[in-house]
Amino acid sequence: MTDKQYDDAILDSNAIDPTDVDGNPIPVTIPIMLAPGVKVVYTTRLGGTSEGDYAHCNLGGKTGDDPNHVLANRVALSNAIDAKLSLVSQVHSGVAVDVDESFVMNRPFGFDVSGSKGEIAQQVGETADNPAVVEADGQVTAQKNVALGMFAADCLPVLMADAEAGVIGAAHCGRRGLQNGVIGATVEKMVAKGAKPERIVATLGPCICGDCYEVGGDLADEFDAQFPGTFTLSRFGQPGIDIAAAALQELAKEIGR
């Protein structure tokens, strides 16, 4: 019998100090290896400087949060994962972009064309040479140490990689994005950079389930017509949809599994 190698005490996350002694954020993340040399990192609300309704590690730049807090949280996350962030403006479209075509270090944490609150841009010296806001829901890169950032609440993040080609992709999949073909558009951009569909591996992130995603009968029927079998009834008996099941259908079509 060996000595116990772990502590099985249940921790109260609210009791964890979100910052260090100097007030710097300590982001709490969930890393998952997707492929050799490719890591998916899910963020949590733990370990940041934001306060009140935004406490603690708010990364969204379009909210009413203090822009200084958002900036500090993003910088801390970039440092924690040892990668520069790439952020675009998500609009529930079927558009994917190759961020390597315009990537510049226009923020201390990386590349931000998401349309964050103006105060963030002004405080770090944005110039007219910086790229304009880019509206897209899929991103692709072949750069090392670049993290494709995807904001998702109810929507589904789909993360993809062809490790042999050194190409990664991320797609923000809500109902409209799936219907607009954002997964296929992202795979297409990956292939254009040397990825092969049969080598691409993918993982689905957290999202709203079919028991909770009520959309109304007409929308549910329309979605189910495009993605058969995704019609659901919520726990309250109302028509809904299963976006994770729809994403799996799209992945099967685009990469064969």
Tens digit of pLDDT for each residue in 215-225?
999 999 999 99
> Tokens 């829901």 sit at which residue?
137
Asked whether the predicted pLDDT for residue 144 surpasses 50, the reply is: yes
Report the pLDDT value the prediction gives residue 118, as an integer from 0 to 100. 53
| 34 burial via Cβ count (<10 Å: 0-12, 13-18, 19+) | middle
Contact 102, 168 (CB under 8 A): no
Asked whether the predicted pLDDT for residue 166 surpasses 60, the reply is: yes
Quick check: bond before 56 cis, omega within 30? yes
Residue 228 sits at the vertex; the CA angle it makes with 168 and 197, to the nearest 5 degrees, is: 25
The helix (run of H) or strand (run of E) holding residue 171 is: strand 167-173
pTM score:
0.91
Report the pLDDT value the prediction gives residue 104, as an integer from 0 to 100. 93
142-155 mean pLDDT: 97
pLDDT, tens only, 10-49: 777 777 788 888 888 999 999 999 999 999 999 999 999 9
Report the pLDDT value the prediction gives residue 9, as an integer from 0 to 100. 77
Distance of alpha carbon 173 from alpha carbon 117, whole angstroms: 24
Residues whose CB falls within 8 Å of the CB of residue 178, separated by 6 or more in sequence, listed in order: 227, 243, 246, 247, 250
Report the pLDDT value the prediction gives residue 121, as an integer from 0 to 100. 45
The helix (run of H) or strand (run of E) holding residue 158 is: strand 156-162
